[in-house]
Amino acid sequence: MEIMKPEIISRQTIKPSSPTPDSKKIYKLSLLDLLNAHRIYVPIIFFYQNKEGDNSVDVAHISSGLKKSLSETLTHYYPLAGRIKDGVTVECNDEGAYFSEARIDCHLEGFLKHPEARDDLDLLMPVEIQSNSSEMGSLLLIQINFFSCGGIAIGIRVSHKVSDLHSISAFLNDWATMARKSGEEISAELTPFFPPGDSLSMPEAEPYKGNLIKRRFVFDAVKLGALKAMATQSGVENPTRVEVVAALIYRCAVAASKVSSGSLKPSVLLQSVNLRKRIVPPLPEKSFGNMVWFYRIHTARESEIEFHALVGQLKAGLAHFCDTYGKNFTGQELIRLMFKERAELTHSNDNHHVNKYICTSWCRTSLYQTDFGWGKPIWLRPTGIGSKNIICLIDTREGDGIEAFVTLEEQEMAVFERDEELLQFSSLN
The angle formed by the CA atoms of residues 99, 105 and 108, to the nearest 5 degrees, is: 80
* Separation between Cα atoms, residue 225 and residue 425, nearest integer Å: 10
Tell me whether residue 160 is one of the annotated catalytic residues.
yes
Could you say which of 76, 94, 160, 174 is catalytic? 160
What 3 state SS string does 147-162 have? Answer: ECCCCEEEEEEEECCC
59 torsion bin: left (phi>0), alpha (psi -120 to 50), beta (else): alpha
Are the C-beta atoms of residues 79 and 288 closer than 8 Å to each other?
A: yes
Pairing of strands 97-104, 140-147: parallel
Could you say which of 122, 220, 371, 400 is catalytic? 371
* Separation between Cα atoms, residue 45 and residue 379, nearest integer Å: 8
Tell me whether residue 400 is one of the annotated catalytic residues.
no
Residues with catalytic annotation?
160, 371
